[in-house]
Amino acid sequence: MQFASRVKTITPSSTLQITAKANALKAEGLNVISLGAGEPDFNTPQAIIDAAFRAAESGKTKYTPTAGIPELKMAIVEKLRHDQGLSYHEKNIIITNGAKHALYLIFQALLNPGDEVIIPAPYWVSYPEQVKLAYGVPVIIETSEDHDFKITPKQLEAAIHRRTKAVIINSPSNPTGMIYTEDELRAIGRLCQRHGIIVISDEIYEKLVYHGEHAPSIVEVMPEIKDQTIIVNGFSKSHAMTGWRIGYAAADEALIQAMTKVASHSTSNPASVSQYAALEAYTGSKDSVTVMRQAFEERLDKAYERLSKIPGLRCVKPKGAFYFFVHAKDAAINNGFNSVTEWAQALLEEAHVAVIPGEGFGAPDYIRLSYATSLDQILEALDRIEAFIRKHQK
């Protein structure tokens, strides 16, 4: 059987691969601690579950408009106004099957073969693969710890070419947890405005920021580039709704219409009851969001203190999301491994701790550790990692 050429270019998700391996070991009865998956360990708040149940009972189980139900669109418009001071209309919103689907639709609607999308590395694993699926060209900019893994205007300008169509800004970032400041966003926005480049602003971790930090949207900072900016967000991280698969994009009306066309011939519409659950998430109590954020902040502080004491590892303390992005090359070399990926594989098989190698994020010297699990499990995992390092010390 001959497969399409686009499939041959795609690299499988490293996060899903590690999670599958960890689950397989668990099924064998092994005590595996997974610091891999990027989803909250909290259950969806009960009020949201109840709203979905009521929707199903009342017959809201049919097809919905492709771009989503009007009530949820208006709730998103109000959220953008209230939380970020942004002015959008219902026509500027599309509801999607998760934020990942919103990104997929953006690339399918925007890119022609050969169009370039600038992606700062470390990056979320699906960005370059989705660009390639749309026959675009990912242009990777490597960042450094010295600049908190954020691109500089100088780097961005050097990467802009005739075929540059868009740049992705993910703040707070997966996998680093870093946040772009207002000044940094303003400098990036001015460059994009001057060159006519679209900004794709992935804000899925917007609510998960700590110690009084704020993760501003680039549209908040530079309202004048609103028409060339696409905001992507969703409910998975902020409301522990990963399995409900509801995200959204806010953008120029013409782009929303183009994305809707693509969606109409692929998914038809987001799941009906999931949309009503999301409606409750944005119109009901916000207490559960606060409780979850506070729990993550406590884990961040205590786990970072423990992580900082492990020899061979170093990490810039994140300001948002729920990941540590840890430099592990020194540990891997000192333990006799050829790469961090090999080291992480051995860590899983011997110490039964699952971490995500940085190779899939465009940073092969690093690993990503999620603290979206209980503090006891995180600290136990870190103890195992230190014991593994000391056991293999050369």
Domain limits for position 374:
5-43+287-389
221 and 360 share one domain:
no
Is residue 345 within 8 A of residue 36, CB to CB? The reply is no
Q: Of 214, 249, 283, which closes a domain?
A: 283
Reported as half-sphere exposure (CB side, CA atoms, 13 A), residue 15 has a value of 16
The string of pLDDT tens digits covering residues 349-362 is 999 999 999 999 99
Please indicate, yes or no, if residue 230 is contained in any of the structural domains.
Answer: yes
C-beta contacts of 49-56 below 8 A and 24+ residues apart: 49/277, 50/280, 51/276, 51/277, 51/279, 51/280, 51/284, 52/244, 52/273, 52/274, 52/276, 52/277, 52/280, 54/276, 55/272, 55/273, 55/276, 55/277, 56/273
Write out the two tokens for 365: 């010297």
- Looking at residues 10-16, what average pLDDT do you find? 75
The pLDDT score that the predictor gives to residue 1 is: 85
Cα 261 to Cα 266, 269, 317, distances in angstroms: 9, 11, 42
Task: Say whether pLDDT at 305 is over 90.
Answer: yes
The pLDDT score that the predictor gives to residue 10 is: 85
What is the CATH number for 115?
3.40.640.10
What is the rounded average pLDDT for all residues in the chain? 96
Please indicate, yes or no, if residue 264 is contained in any of the structural domains.
Answer: yes
The pLDDT score that the predictor gives to residue 21 is: 86
- Looking at residues 181-203, what average pLDDT do you find? 98
Please indicate, yes or no, if residue 70 is contained in any of the structural domains.
Answer: yes
Is residue 217 within 8 A of residue 209, CB to CB? The reply is no
Give dist(CA 184, CA 168) in Å, integer. 14
Burial category of 339 from C-beta neighbours within 10 Å (exposed 0-12, middle 13-18, buried 19 and up): middle
Q: Of 230, 249, 283, which closes a domain?
A: 283
The pLDDT score that the predictor gives to residue 394 is: 80
153 and 65 share one domain:
yes
CB neighbours of 135 closer than 8 A, spacing ≥ 6? 6, 111, 112, 113, 114
Share of the chain above pLDDT 70, in %: 100
241 and 329 share one domain:
no
The pLDDT score that the predictor gives to residue 23 is: 87
Task: Assign 235 to helix, strand or coil.
Answer: coil
Write out the two tokens for 39: 């989803």
Q: Say if residue 223 is preceded by a cis peptide, omega within 30 of 0.
A: no
305 and 178 share one domain:
no
Planar angle of CA 157, 106, 359, nearest 5 degrees: 65
Give dist(CA 124, CA 168) in Å, integer. 10
Write out the two tokens for 158: 């050097």
Write out the two tokens for 71: 């009530």
- Looking at residues 155-171, what average pLDDT do you find? 98
Give dist(CA 229, CA 138) in Å, integer. 18
The pLDDT score that the predictor gives to residue 19 is: 79
- Domains in the chain: how many in total? 2
Helices 70-84, 272-283: axis angle to 10 degrees equals: 30
The pLDDT score that the predictor gives to residue 87 is: 97
Give dist(CA 303, CA 380) in Å, integer. 10
162 band by pLDDT with thresholds 50, 70 and 90: very high
